[in-house]
Structure 1
Amino acid sequence: MSAGLPPGGASPGVDEDQGGLRAALSGLTTRGRSFLAAGIAAGICAYALGQDDLLRVGMLLAVLPLVCVGVLHRTRYRVAGSRRLSPARVPAGSEARVHLRMDNVSRLPTGLLMLQDRVPYVLGPRPRFVLDRVEAGGRREVSYRVRSDLRGRYPLGPLQLRLSDPFGMCELTRSFSAYDTLTVIPRTEALPPVRLAGEAAGYGDGRQRSLALAGEDDVIPREYRHGDDLRRVHWRSTARYGELMVRREEQPQRARCTVLLDTRRIAFQGAGPDSAFEWAVSGAASALVHMLERGFSVRLLTDTGSSVPGDGSSGFAGATQDSADSAGLMMDTLAVVGHSDGAGLSASFDVLRGGNEGLLIAFFGDLDEEQAAVAARMRQRSNAAVAFVTDSAAWVPDEPGAAPAPAQAQERLRMLREAGWTVLDARPGVPLADLWQQAGREHTTNTPGKTGGWS
């Protein structure tokens, strides 16, 4: 954020100057108004009593704030402000620091400056700073901290600058137009290195090898790039195209992972940082970051059918994009995701049945019989599927009737297990890392011939 700020402003016309003068008069402080009122009252009393000395005192009291208004109004210095966030993306419950910088780009020193940044109440109190005289060409830097337990995107700014005369008679407020955005992403939990898809690096083996390797070398040539081995030069293509061409190396295809987040409003009860829905959002964030770090191509999918990073050639992130950028894109989505008004999971099932999705990790809310059947069919389109299911009866025990009966809830979990899901009953207070390890053990037990992990 950077902008120039002429406190007095140019006055090419009389009307504009009078308008600016009226704005300056409206900036009189309580002290300035008191001096002006006392001067007028002293003048009236001096006229009534015939006291010349009292009249001179009254004139002094009345003129002083008007002189301060005129001087402040005619000030011609310019200042520029900038804001820097460190970091611009912060997990919920963690602090970010905002750095403000003011530069006096005029040839005159400034007077007393009061700096104020506009901050949403959820991030903390509004920061205010007092900057003493800033010399011509000088700069001042200040900083403050912000923190939020609620994820979201929060605007910071615009920055406001309050000018004051040395006597405190008049104050003028000017605002910059630029602002920045702080993104508060869900909390993530470090997950243990459970062996997934048969290979820790995300490259499958055994019966899933077709998902992991491209097979034979790709003999289609490409243009020579600085640093390529000259032994890979494809001379026939070089002669054909008239420029140096090299053979492509073998392009391994990463194993895929889809993280499915159920956002249906009817599937979750309660609100706040400790609610089941926030736990599911945090769990999805932890899973996608963990899988990206292990070399998987990851996609975030919601019950509405929306997919992140998008509907590109593969719809997955990590294979052609930098993992950090991919994680940032999906984290930004999770920072603002909210409840959907949909009642079913059909839209997400339509996306999943388009092809073999590799590993499927789902975070479900309450499931009725129909939605449990839809979720069971999702298993057919994945090599392995793990479901973390939250039960509203456990998360909001004070609201009877808000969730299915315990027997019905267990029946839904049984339907998923019979369909091939590895199902974890997510309850408050149980760390996701423990459930993650339990999922690995259950899959190993239920999969004959496997020594560990999911395939």
Structure 2
Amino acid sequence: MSTAATDRAAPPRQTRRASSETEMTSRGVGVLAAGIVIAVLGVGLSTPILVYIGVAMTCAVAVAWIWLVIAVDAFLRVIPATRREVSPHPLTAGVPGTVSVTIDSRAGGRHVRMRRSVTEHLDLREQAAAELTGGAGTKATVTRGDGTLTLRYSLHPTRRGRWPLGPALVHSGDPFGMIHADTPVGEPQLVPVWPAVVDLSGTAGALMGHADRVVLGARTPSPDDASLRDYREGDDLRRVHWASSARLGTMLVRSDERAGRRPATVILDPPREPIALEWAISAAASIALSVLDSGHPVRMIGAGLDAGAVRHLGERGGEAARYELLNQTIDLRAPASRADSTAQVVRSAALAADDARQGEVTVGVLEPLSQEALDALVPIGDSGRAWALVRTGPAMEADARRTVRGLRRAGWRATTISPTDDLAELWTRMLTAGEIE
């Protein structure tokens, strides 16, 4: 194949099917049209020479097409090994990444010489979804080595999710430039993108270490309560905390495994609007990561999360917990209806309520709630360690304020927040300066 290496910007393209796509160039279309016109004109004027010229031009296009089909077929039989590396992996929305696509012809086989010749003259392009490139073109650089060709370019992911990347395309044409083909090499892949997160690590101390002292409108728990849980059949009676049991009227035992490392639960109530959904996921993930970074276990629960997120992450620390938490957010989707959302909030509240009574911190990133959902969250406020951010906007301000008032009456510290607000600033003020109107 007559191919030439190029270092140029290539616009994002949709992933094509695995077979090669062959098309005529403008030159090929012109030659074919001119050949047909000349041949017809020759027949009309009874001029054999014009007929011969027209037929020759038409046949030239057909020969070019056949030549390219044969060349592409030969290339596919000796195609070199192709690999793609994305760094970092997964990507994070708003954080640039890089991709390298390497074609290596150094593997053994009877076509080694042909393979090396192929990699020396390839015109290689890469396909990427617009969500990975920001909708702009990608400026690629080509590096050639001994039997290898490497294409490198930057990615600028803009949205959370899994987005297609590849396959790479080898562009080739006939010697006369009348037909060209794009031949896929390598396999396409779906690249995971984490949501954008805000650094809230500076606020985790106020949330976790001082939760007992900063709660307004709720009882101040005893420091011992932080490591207490309800008595369960089979518990050692020597672990019963008699003073707290007498004060609260229920049998409590020491939960030594969590002493000093109070866990937290983040309840996510996903909005149905796409932009608001991304903001809510980002806010919930940012708060959860701040808890992890402070050395405390955390879990995220809510629509699409309950089934796989009952277990707290970070019980033993480590970077793996951070990866697992963010991976849970990649495929999150909005509930199908507001009724589904309400049902998910009710289930999440029931799941979090027992642990809240044992000293767990609860944070909600919520939509304006129905009365049913609000009633389900009320028991969590009795713990004195419940916090909530309620999304507001021009069409939902009254409902958001009503939700905040209901949560505050139940013992939550709650405030409204708009996706345009500075999350770090508002969250810090809420934790350190009391409730925000």
Q: TM-score, normalised by structure 1?
A: 0.65
Residue 70 (structure 1) aligned to one of 67, 73, 77: 67
Residue 371 (structure 2) aligned to one of 360, 369, 372: 369
Distance 1:403 1:410, change over 3 A: closer
Percent identical pairs in the alignment equals 23
Tell me if the contact between 1:116 and 1:160 (Cα under 8 Å) persists in the aligned partners: yes
**1:281-340 CA distances to partner (integer Å, 9 max, x unpaired)?**
2211111111111001110111567154x34xxx111114x5422222222332332321
SS at match of 2:169: strand
Aligned to 2:407: 416
Aligned to 1:16: none
Residue 265 (structure 2) aligned to one of 244, 258, 269: 258
Distance 1:130 1:162, change over 3 A: farther
SS at match of 1:118: strand
- CA–CA separation in structure 1 for the residues paired with 2:385 and 2:150: 53
**1:137-165 CA distances to partner (integer Å, 9 max, x unpaired)?**
62222223333433222121233323223
Aligned to 1:318: 314
- Root-mean-square deviation over aligned CA pairs: 4.1
Matches within 5 A, 1:353-392: 353-355=353-355, 356=358, 358-380=360-382, 382=383, 384-391=385-392
- CA–CA separation in structure 2 for the residues paired with 1:413 and 1:182: 38
Say whether 1:327 aligns with 2:328: no
- CA–CA separation in structure 2 for the residues paired with 1:420 and 1:170: 73
Distance 1:206 1:263, change over 3 A: same
Matches within 5 A, 1:39-54: 45=42, 48-49=46-47, 51=49
Matches within 5 A, 1:266-277: 271=273, 273=275, 275=276, 277=277
Aligned to 2:113: 107
**1:56-104 CA distances to partner (integer Å, 9 max, x unpaired)?**
8974884486167436614454233222212233332332222222234
Deviation at 1:51, TM superposition (A): 4.9
- Give, as a single letter, the amino acid of the residue that structure 1 aligns with 2:413: T
Mean CA deviation greater in 173-182 or 28-37: 28-37
- CA–CA separation in structure 2 for the residues paired with 1:165 and 1:197: 68
**1:19-62 CA distances to partner (integer Å, 9 max, x unpaired)?**
xxxx999644343454456567767849954559x958974884
Distance 1:125 1:435, change over 3 A: closer
- CA–CA separation in structure 2 for the residues paired with 1:442 and 1:352: 26
Aligned to 2:80: 79
Distance 1:128 1:412, change over 3 A: closer
Aligned to 1:29: 25
Say whether 1:207 aligns with 2:208: no
Tell me if the contact between 1:83 and 1:100 (Cα under 8 Å) persists in the aligned partners: yes
Distance 1:303 1:403, change over 3 A: farther
Say whether 1:431 aligns with 2:428: no
Greater relative CO (CA pairs within 8 A, separation 6+): 2
- CA–CA separation in structure 1 for the residues paired with 2:227 and 2:90: 37
Tell me if the contact between 1:112 and 1:131 (Cα under 8 Å) persists in the aligned partners: no
Tell me if the contact between 1:387 and 1:422 (Cα under 8 Å) persists in the aligned partners: yes
- Give, as a single letter, the amino acid of the residue that structure 2 aligns with 1:90: L
Deviation at 1:428, TM superposition (A): 5.0
- Give, as a single letter, the amino acid of the residue that structure 1 aligns with 2:265: T
Mean CA deviation greater in 39-48 or 28-37: 39-48
Structure having the higher helix fraction is: 2
SS at match of 1:93: coil
- CA–CA separation in structure 1 for the residues paired with 2:269 and 2:20: 56
- What runs of 5+ residues in structure 2 fail to find an aligned partner? 4-18, 107-111, 212-221, 230-255
Distance 1:65 1:104, change over 3 A: farther
Residue 440 (structure 1) aligned to one of 410, 414, 431: 431
Tell me if the contact between 2:173 and 2:181 (Cα under 8 Å) persists in the aligned partners: yes
SS at match of 2:206: coil
Say whether 1:153 aligns with 2:156: no
Say whether 1:179 aligns with 2:169: no
Q: TM-score, normalised by structure 2?
A: 0.67
- CA–CA separation in structure 2 for the residues paired with 1:377 and 1:252: 22
- CA–CA separation in structure 2 for the residues paired with 1:130 and 1:411: 56
- CA–CA separation in structure 2 for the residues paired with 1:51 and 1:304: 74
Tell me if the contact between 1:116 and 1:127 (Cα under 8 Å) persists in the aligned partners: no
Distance 1:112 1:37, change over 3 A: farther
The number of aligned residues is 357
- CA–CA separation in structure 1 for the residues paired with 2:54 and 2:164: 50
Tell me if the contact between 2:388 and 2:413 (Cα under 8 Å) persists in the aligned partners: yes
SS at match of 1:150: coil
Aligned to 1:224: none
